[in-house]
Structure 1
Amino acid sequence: MAFATASTGAARAEDVPSRPTMWYWHNWADHHGISHMTKCPLRDFDLKTMSAPAGPQWQDRLKSGPAQVIFTVQPAHWNGVWHPDPKVQWIIPLKGAWYVTAMDGHKVVMGPGEVSLGEDQLSRRDAQGHVGHDAGNVGDAPVELMVVQVGEAPTVDQPCRFK
């Protein structure tokens, strides 16, 4: 795809920035019902405008369809105990630090700008009574999150299913 220079409007191959990679954490369940946290790449970016005449920007459109956006403020020292995500949802910390611990014991701490995909709805209670994930705040301040719930059916054994 061509990338126009500001001064001439002409495109040169050496002016095209390289395709970016972004990362997200995927909390998914395997066929045994155990949840896991896997770091996943997003690489399928196209350089195009979102709305002409705005300049081109890298975009990776994962899925289209209905979504609900929820902003949450978790009080200081909030803990969600063990629970599955209510829906397949993207979670983006905006302020503060937040953690997710999967049933396999993998704990990930995320701060502002990091992204998590919650998809552990098909996890099953283990011998310790754990199901889904444990989540909570890190530190002594509230944590602000943006949650985008999507109309996707949860899957099993598909870590990094959005690429």
Structure 2
Amino acid sequence: MSGAAWASDATSPTPTMWYWHNWTDHDGVSHMTKCPLRDFDLKTMSKPADPQWQDRLKQGPAQIIFTVQPAHWNGSWHPDPKVQWIIPLKGSWYVTAMDGHKVIMGPGEVSLGEDQLSRKDTQGKVGHYAGNVGDDPVELMVVQTDETPTQDKPCRFR
């Protein structure tokens, strides 16, 4: 698409994208909430490339990890090691929060893991329970941040 054609489309509505947020409440219980990303600006990332909608959540250090979970991988109950974005690239996986809410995510869906402040309950659950769906390995991209974990802030990134 040429720059001139895009410029005439600059009046299109600002997009909304969605992510799942695994967050912790003040009692130390984790939850899964579907959250919108809506703070997009239309600009180029690198001239002379055409403008694209961008929502820059934070600038700062990050570590990118690609992982392949073997077929039938089981993550048991555990908190995320850091505040991290998780994007399935191939296959499907699930995350179950301590409140029982289970979300299955496939390629292109996004999850924010922020359950570091969860506390073990009477059944031994802490953080989240994750695993693969189906009989194939699951490929994930994980972006670990230097964010400080929060409590009682579902959908803190918008």
- Is 1:22 the counterpart of 2:17? The answer is yes
- Is 1:117 the counterpart of 2:116? The answer is no
Q: Which runs of 4+ in 1 moved over 3 A?
A: none
What 5-or-longer segments of structure 2 have no aligned partner?
none
Q: CA deviation at 1:5?
A: 2.7
Q: 1:133 aligns with which of 122, 128, 131?
A: 128
Q: Residue 19 of structure 2 aligns to which amino acid in structure 1?
A: Y
Partner Cα separation in structure 1 for residue 80 and residue 146 of structure 2: 13
Q: CA deviation at 1:116?
A: 0.1
Partner of 1:5: 4
Q: Deviations over 1:84-109 (max 9, x none)?
A: 00000000000000000000000000
What 5-or-longer segments of structure 1 have no aligned partner?
none
Check whether the contact 1:70–1:147 (CA below 8 A) recurs between aligned residues: yes
- Look at both structures and tell me which one has the larger radius of gyration over its CA atoms: 1
Q: Residue 138 of structure 1 aligns to which amino acid in structure 2?
A: V
Partner Cα separation in structure 2 for residue 15 and residue 88 of structure 1: 34
SS in 1 for 2:76: strand
Q: Deviations over 1:9-50 (max 9, x none)?
A: 9x55x6522100000000000000000000000000000000
State how 1:86-125 maps to structure 2 within 5 Å.
86-125=81-120
The count of aligned residue pairs is 157
- Is 1:158 the counterpart of 2:157? The answer is no
Partner of 1:147: 142
Report sequence identity in percent. 80
Q: CA deviation at 1:131?
A: 0.1
Q: Deviations over 1:42-100 (max 9, x none)?
A: 00000000000000000000000000000000000000000000000000000000000
Partner of 1:68: 63
Partner Cα separation in structure 2 for residue 142 and residue 38 of structure 1: 26
SS in 2 for 1:153: coil
Check whether the contact 1:5–1:15 (CA below 8 A) recurs between aligned residues: no
Partner Cα separation in structure 1 for residue 85 and residue 12 of structure 2: 27
SS in 1 for 2:4: coil
Partner Cα separation in structure 1 for residue 10 and residue 143 of structure 2: 34
